[in-house]
Amino acid sequence: MTTVQPQDIAAGPPLLEVDDLRVEFDTYGGSVKAVRGVSFSVAAGKTLAIVGESGCGKSVTVQTLMGLTPMPPGRITSGRARLRGVDILGRTEIGGREIRGREIGMIFQDPMTSLNPTMTIGRQIAETLEVHRGWSRKRALDRAVELLDMARIPEAAQRANQYPFEFSGGMLQRAMIAVAIACEPAILIADEPTTALDVTIQAQVLDLLSDLQRDIGTAIILITHDLGVVARMADDVVVMYAGQVAEQGSVEDVFYRSAHPYMLGLRAAMPSNSSDRRHRLLPIEGSPPDLFSPPTGCAYAARCPHAMRICSTTDPGAFSLGGGHTARCWLHGDKAPRVPQLAYAGAAPGLKA
C-alpha cells in the first residue's frame, strides 16, 4: 500500500458535501424532527468532527448518508448529499461502485454488538472483500490477516481464526477498523470510536486512525462528544444542537474563537489541567428542546445566559464570521450587545475567547 503524502492531496472541491439535510421520524406521539437543515463538507485527507450532546442528531445524520436510517419510520424531507458531485441520498451505488462499505466505511460505536459472534474475525473481514470486490475466499482471508496487522493486532494470523468473545474491547475496536478500511473507502465514518475504552487504549485507537488516514488518504468524519478527541484529531468542527448546526469552522476557530454561547458552555464544562484548585466545572443548566415541537426561534434560547427577546421568536440563521467560520446566534446581529467571551467577525486573528 502506498503512503499518501500531504502534498499529494489536491486542494480541489470537497469530497463530500451535505446541504440542508432534514430527517424526521414518525412515531405514535407525532413526528420527531431529528435533523433540521444540517450542512457541511469534508475534503479528501481531512478530518471533520461532529460534536454535541446525546440526542442532537449526530449519528442520525451520518447513518442517513450511509443508508442505515430505517425508512419508515424515518424519512428524508429535504436536502442533498453529494459524493464527488453525485447525490447519494437514497442510492446504493455511484458509478457502479457500492456506496456503503466500498465508498464509505463506518466504525460503529459498540464493536461487541456490531460483529457477528458466530463468525471468526478474519472471516468477517474477508466477507467485506468478497461482497464488495468479488475476491476469492482465500485471497480475502489472506488480506484479512494483513488488515489485522495494519490495525496493530499482534499475531494477526492466529487472531484471524478467533471469535469476537476472545478479543478485548480495544482489540475489537481495532478489528472493526480493519473491517471498515478493507475496501480502502474514500470516507471513513467513526461513530464514537473510543467509547468505553480506557485512556491508554483510546490514544492508541486515535493514533491508528491518524496513521491509516495518512496511509490511504481517506477523509474521516468523527462523531463524538469528547472535546479532547476533537482537539487532537480534527481539522474542522461542526457543533450540533437540537438537530441543527450551532457553529462550524476550523478546529482553531471553534475552540479558541468560539462564536456561539453553546460552545462556550461546552468549554466551561470541560476538565482543566490547571493546578488552581478553585477551578470549577460549570454545567449547562436546563435540557435540550423537545424535537416533537422544536422552538420557532433559537433552539438554545431557553438555556442561553445571553438570550434576548428576539431569540425566542425568530430563528437567527447562520452568521458568517469569515474563513468558513459560522455561528447560529443573534448575538452576531448588528444591533446585538457584545459579549466579551465571544469572537466576532473582524476580530483580531489572535483573539482568544
Kindly report, residue by residue over 278-314, the tens digit of the pLDDT: 667 777 888 899 999 999 999 999 999 999 999 999 9
Element (H, E) at 14: none
Tell me the average pLDDT of the chain. 85
Question: How would you classify the pairing of strands 219-224 and 47-51?
Answer: parallel
**What is the C-alpha separation between 321 and 340, in angstroms, rounded?**
16
pLDDT in tens, 316-339: 999 999 889 999 999 998 888 888
The residue whose grid cell reads 433540521 is: 36
Q: Quick one: DSSP state of residue 115?
A: S
pLDDT classification of 206: cutoffs 50, 70, 90: confident
Lookup: cell for 186: 474514500
Contact by Cβ (8 Å): 222, 233: yes
pLDDT classification of 96: cutoffs 50, 70, 90: low
**What is the C-alpha separation between 241 and 288, in angstroms, rounded?**
8
Quote the pLDDT of residue 314: 93
Quote the pLDDT of residue 348: 45
Lookup: cell for 2: 502506498
Quote the pLDDT of residue 10: 41
233-251 CB burial, b ≥16 within 10 A, e <16:
bbbbbbbbbbbbbbbbbbb
DSSP string computed for 251-266: HHHHHHS--SHHHHHH
Contact by Cβ (8 Å): 87, 65: no
Q: Give CA 65 to chain center in angstroms.
A: 12
**What is the C-alpha separation between 231 and 254, in angstroms, rounded?**
10
User: Is the pLDDT assigned to residue 353 strictly greater than 50?
Assistant: no
Element (H, E) at 308: none
Lowest average pLDDT, out of 24-33, 67-76, 103-112, goes to 103-112
Element (H, E) at 20: strand 16-27
Domain limits, the chain: 13-234, 252-271+282-332
User: What's the CATH class of domain 13-234?
Assistant: alpha beta
Comparing CA positions, the residue from 170, 341, 326 lying closest to residue 250 is 326
User: Is the pLDDT assigned to residue 349 strictly greater than 70?
Assistant: no
Helix (H) and strand (E) counts for the chain?
A: 10, 14
Judged by phi (left if over 0) then psi (alpha if -120 to 50, else beta), residue 19 lies in: beta
Longest dimension (CA), the chain: 68
Lookup: cell for 103: 465508498
> What integer is the mean pLDDT of 159-172?
89
pLDDT classification of 277: cutoffs 50, 70, 90: low
pLDDT in tens, 24-52: 999 888 899 999 999 999 998 899 999 98
